[in-house]
Amino acid sequence: MLFFRESDNMVRLKSRCKDFANQGNGVILPIDDDFIINCLERIENDNRRTIDAKLEELFQQVIS
C-alpha cells in the first residue's frame, strides 16, 4: 500500500502501479486522503463491510 495526501494525476499513478504489477514486482495499492476519508465515512455510517468492496475495486484497477 502506498499512502499519500493527493495526486495531480491519479490515472497515471494507477497506470504506473499496474505496470509495476505486470512486471511481476508485486502489487501497490495507491491510497490517498480521499480514499481514507471515504472509508472512515463508511464506518461512521455503519457500512464497514463495503470497505472490502472498495479495496477490491482498487485492486482490480491496478492488476487488470
Q: What are phi and psi of 25, to 5 degrees?
A: -95, 5
What is the average pLDDT value for the chain, to the nearest integer? Answer: 96
Mean pLDDT of 33-38: 97
Name the residue ranges covered by the structural domains of the chain. 2-63
Phi, psi (5° rounding) for residue 61?
A: -65, -35
Q: What percent of the chain has pLDDT over 90?
A: 98
Measured CA to CA in angstroms, residue 13 lies from 18, 28, 40, 42, 48 at distances of 9, 10, 23, 25, 26
Residue range 10-31, pLDDT digits in tens: 999 999 999 999 999 999 999 9
How far is the C-alpha of 7 from the C-alpha of 31, rounded, in Å? 10
> Alpha-carbon distance 49 to 61, whole Å?
20
